[in-house]
Structure 1
Amino acid sequence: MTALPTYTTDVRRLEEFSAVDLYAMLKMRVDVFVVEQECAYPELDGNDLDCLHLRLFDRADLLACARLWRPSPDVLPRIGRVAVSPDHRGKRLGDALMREAIVECEKAYPGEAIEISAQAHLQKFYGSLGFERTSEEYLEDGIPHVDMVRRPKSA
């Protein structure tokens, strides 16, 4: 099994980013979601201002990122825009990123379930992290997805 690389975790709001760090994160998301997955959609969707942004990096090299947010008080907290740099795949960073994202969501929204919109082919991966499928399969930007929820641990 490939050893997990050393990484540093950073969680911050959008306005706390330097221009260079913000550019790197948004470029990686566009490279993954728009270019690699060939999805013409508004990656810059207006929601980033309301999110916490989680990054994993090694020195100055961005490895992976995700955003954590609650769209409104009557909606569950969400983990989204989960991306691992194409240059760093195969190193178990997706697992590390999601585990860090869960911890940060639990800090920000204690005792609450966490929701994701998962690409359908990743159900087993998200299931291994405690997420359960809660919807039928649907298309989002031409890619099959399912909704999944991770329930809070009992007190």
Structure 2
Amino acid sequence: MQQPELIIKTTSELTPLELLTIMQERTKVFVVEQRCAYQEIDEADFNAHHVYLTLDNNLLAYTRIIKDSDNAYIRFGRVLVPLAYRKKNYGRQIVTATIAEIHHLYPNKMIKIGVQNYLRSFYESFGFKAVSDVYLEDNIPHIDMILNGGH
């Protein structure tokens, strides 16, 4: 059985087809499926690193890495697995690869993420610790979490 390919590129390195595929899947999950009307494609996309798994030209999982504006920490987000590929461990694979890439690009930097609260234990399994109370973002309960650099 063929294994998924891990691809990591900056926005400017993406081909037009790769960029359109990523944006289409992000919109499907975060705007349509989650019924959130917001600016899904934003300023952070201009300088992001896009991390994704693909197999037979199908996007299996995706995240983006972004530097925080004050450079205090690194963030990743827009973590998604399209509906057809859920429950196949791709979420765990993409988060593992994303953390490894952050450690490679930004050694010893703290990682800070804002996650949907129902996924808290999933991220705790990677070593993330909650650093905020639950708050609403786009009417969805979220929590901020950190992972210290080098871990």
Q: What TM-score do you get using the length of structure 2 for normalisation?
A: 0.95
Equivalent residue, structure 1, for 2:68: 71
* Distance in 1 of aligned mates of 2:147 and 2:42: 25
Contact preservation (8 Å) 2:129, 2:145 = yes
Runs of 4+ in 1 over 3 A off after TM superposition: none
Unaligned 5+ residue runs, structure 1?
none
Equivalent residue, structure 2, for 1:140: 137
Q: 1:33 aligns with which of 30, 34, 42?
A: 30
* Distance in 2 of aligned mates of 1:64 and 1:38: 20
Q: Percent identity?
A: 35
Q: Secondary structure at the match of 1:38?
A: coil
Alignment RMSD, CA only? 1.3
Are positions 1:150 and 2:143 aligned together? no
Equivalent residue, structure 2, for 1:118: 115
Q: 1:103 aligns with which of 100, 104, 114?
A: 100
Equivalent residue, structure 1, for 2:124: 127
Unaligned 5+ residue runs, structure 2?
none
Q: Secondary structure at the match of 2:87?
A: coil
Q: What is the count of residue pairs matched by the alignment?
A: 150
Equivalent residue, structure 1, for 2:77: 80
**How far apart are 1:50 and its partner, in Å?**
1.2
- Cα deviation 1:30-84 (Å, max 9, x = unaligned): 0000000000010011210111010111131111110001122443100111011
Q: 1:61 aligns with which of 55, 58, 61?
A: 58
Are positions 1:93 and 2:90 aligned together? yes
**How far apart are 1:87 and its partner, in Å?**
1.1
* Distance in 1 of aligned mates of 2:71 and 2:147: 17
